[in-house]
């Protein structure tokens, strides 16, 4: 499908809920910067309406869509093709429409890699601890393995879910530990990259682990929270003079990769970043 010469093409974000998303701000800024005609909007979609929504993407005026929770896994059943990366990640967050053929891809993995590189910190030989064992944790583990990290530990409240993640990502060598304070306290002195891939911490007063445990991290530790806002975890890490990174760089770079898949054009990342920062500031 050609973007140039088309006057009314559509893109959107499929999920439930989606009202909080700043993806339209960054995507539309990129489209306007390149003079491209598609518009990107929110497509709130309850689970009962997912099949119908995906079928609608086959319309000639639709370039594709992003997919967010809770549909990243369920959406695979309604697509014509799923890329090897999306299969390995166990999640589709980007759908590309190619002449009636719907292809599911995953841009979270390269987005997380690019987000880490933004820090300018050396990632070589870091030992990582990922909090959580869901889809986000799976993408993070894949990304870190791609970057060459060999020491990756998963901490999760449900041992069975952590084991399922390790099984799904074999032959990656993932270490599993409980997420109780004692196990975390024993692990953290050797950890130089702590990633919160859980939903805990979005609201003030929440944290994915007792914040006092951050005292155990080495001075060169980097604390990452996939939430694209400031959190109690990040604030506590900064108080301890640890390097921090929120989820906004990952959002920007996964969005830029999706932009390129839809349009075939290089994404104007700087423009998209400024739009995302402005959209986030307007909501805080």
CA distance 4 to 229: 35
269-283 vs 248-263: helix crossing angle, rounded to 10? 130
| CA 217-233-24 angle, 5° bins | 130
CA distance 40 to 267: 15
Our answer to whether residue 238 is catalytic in this structure is no
Q: Which residue in 53, 54, 89 sits closest to 73, CA to CA?
A: 89
Selected catalytic residue, list 53, 71, 72, 257: 72
| CA 265-57-272 angle, 5° bins | 35
In this structure, are residues 21 and 68 in contact, taking their beta carbons and an 8 Å threshold? yes
In this structure, are residues 244 and 224 in contact, taking their beta carbons and an 8 Å threshold? yes
Look at the block and give the residue holding tokens 């805080």. Answer: 284
For residue 219, give every residue at least 6 positions away whose Cβ sits within 8 Å of its Cβ, in sequence order, or none. Answer: 241, 242
- Catalytic (active-site) positions: 72
């Amino acid at each position: 499908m050609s973007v140039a010469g088309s006057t009314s093409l559509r893109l959107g974000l499929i999920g439930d809920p989606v009202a909080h998303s700043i993806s339209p701000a960054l995507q539309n800024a990129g489209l306007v910067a390149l003079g491209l005609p598609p518009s990107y909007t929110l497509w709130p979609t309850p689970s009962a309406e997912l099949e119908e929504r995906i079928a609608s993407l086959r319309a000639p005026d639709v370039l594709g869509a992003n997919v967010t929770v809770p549909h990243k896994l369920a959406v695979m059943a309604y697509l014509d093709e799923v890329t090897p990366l999306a299969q390995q990640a166990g999640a589709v967050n980007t759908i590309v429409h190619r002449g009636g053929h719907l292809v599911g891809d995953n841009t979270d993995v390269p987005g997380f890699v690019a987000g880490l590189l933004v820090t300018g910190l050396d990632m070589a030989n870091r030992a990582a601890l990922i909090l959580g064992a869901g889809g986000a944790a799976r993408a993070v583990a894949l990304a870190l393995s791609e970057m060459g990290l060999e020491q990756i530990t998963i901490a999760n409240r449900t041992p069975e879910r952590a084991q399922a993640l390790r099984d799904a990502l074999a032959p990656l060598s993932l270490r599993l530990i409980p997420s109780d304070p004692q196990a975390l306290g024993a692990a953290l002195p050797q950890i130089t990259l702590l990633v919160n891939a859980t939903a805990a911490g979005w609201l003030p007063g929440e944290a994915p682990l007792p914040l006092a445990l951050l005292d155990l991290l080495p001075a060169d530790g980097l604390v990452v929270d996939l939430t694209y806002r400031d959190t109690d975890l990040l604030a506590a890490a900064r108080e301890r003079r640890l390097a921090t990174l929120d989820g906004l760089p990952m959002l920007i770079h996964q969005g830029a990769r999706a932009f390129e898949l839809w349009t075939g054009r290089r994404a104007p990342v700087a423009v998209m970043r400024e739009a995302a920062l402005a959209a986030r500031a307007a909501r805080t």
